[in-house]
Amino acid sequence: MDGSEEVRYGGMVKSAVRVIEILEFFEAERRALKVSEIVEGLRMPQSSVSTLMKTLAAQGYVEFDPETRRYRPAPRLAFLGHWALGGPGNIEQVQNLMRALAEQTEESVLLGGQKGLFMQYLSIIESPHNLRFSLRPGLVRPLHGSGIGIMLLTRRSDDDIRRIVRRHRAEFGAEDGWPDEEATLENVRLARAQGYIETFGIASRGAGTICTLLEIPGSGPCLGIAVGGPISRLDTHREELRETLTRTVAEFVRDLAELPVAAGRAERSFPAGHA
C-alpha cells in the first residue's frame, strides 16, 4: 500500500471503504456508469472495481446492462436504511424539500449530518450556475468548521462543544485554521439565538452558506440544511435566501409532523411553489 492509500484507508477495511465510495459516486453522478468511469472518477484499480461491481450485482444492490456495459443502483439499494430518517417516506420528502429550495434559490442545496467530530454531506443538489458550490456527498468538515456543523452543535451543551473542539485539535492539530473554542461558542450562541447561521469562507475560500436545522419529526434524526454559493452572488440577495430557507424548512417540518407516520408520507408532494 502506498502513502496515499495509507491516508485514504488508514486502519479501515479497504474493500468496505471502496464499496461505500462507489455507492456515493453513483449518488453524485445520478446515472448509470461503466467500470472505466468509476475507475477514473475514484482513482481505484480496475480489477478491484470490476470485482466489487460483480459482487454488488450478485447481491442485488446494482443492476448490469450487458448492452451498454453500465451499472446502476438497483431498487433494493433504495430501500436499504430508509428507516433511518424516521419514516417510510421521509427520504423522498427531504429530497423534495431540497429540490424545492434549489428551484426557489437557484443555488446549491446541501444536507449534512454528524459523523463523530465531523459534519458529513449526505446529499447535494448543485446550482445551475456555471460558478457554483460544487461538493460531493460523503465529504466531511469539522463540526466547528462548517455552517451545518455549527447548527448541529446548537443542540449540544457548551461543555460538550468545548470537548469536541479540544478533541479535534488534539487529534488533527491546533494550527489547522479552524475556529478555536471561544470562536466556536460565539458562532453556536449566535446560531441558537437566530435559528440560522451564515458562514463565508470558513470551509471553502470564496464560498458561503446560509444554514439552519432540519429536525425530522418523531424518531427521525437532526440534520442541517443549507444553501451555498460564491460569496459574491450570495451577498446580492442574502436576506431573500435566508428568509426562503428558514420559512420553507419550518413549513416542511410542520407539515411532515402532521402526516400519519405509517401512511401518506410517500405520496405527499412538495412542489417548488409550496412556499
Which residue bears the cell 417510510? 88
Q: pTM of the entire structure? A: 0.73
Using one digit for the tens of pLDDT, what is the confidence trace for 227-264? 999 998 999 999 999 999 999 999 999 988 877 654 44
At 212, the amino acid letter reads T
| Range 172-180 average pLDDT | 78
On the question of pLDDT at 156 being above 90, the answer is yes
Could you state, in order of their start, the residue ranges of all structural domains in the chain? Answer: 3-78, 82-274
Q: Return d(Cα 273, Cα 95) in angstroms, integer.
A: 15
Q: Return d(Cα 268, Cα 7) in angstroms, integer.
A: 44
- Give the class (CATH, top level) of 82-274: alpha beta
Closest by CA position to 154, among listed 249, 94, 82, 223: 223
Q: Are residues 91 and 266 in contact, defined by beta-carbon separation less than 8 angstroms? A: no
The pLDDT of residue 271 is 43
Which residue bears the cell 405520496? 267
Using one digit for the tens of pLDDT, what is the confidence trace for 72-109? 998 788 767 766 666 666 788 899 999 999 999 999 99
Strand order in the sheet with 70-73: 33-34, 70-73, 62-65
CATH of domain 3-78: 1.10.10.10
- Residue 271 cell numbers, joined: 412542489
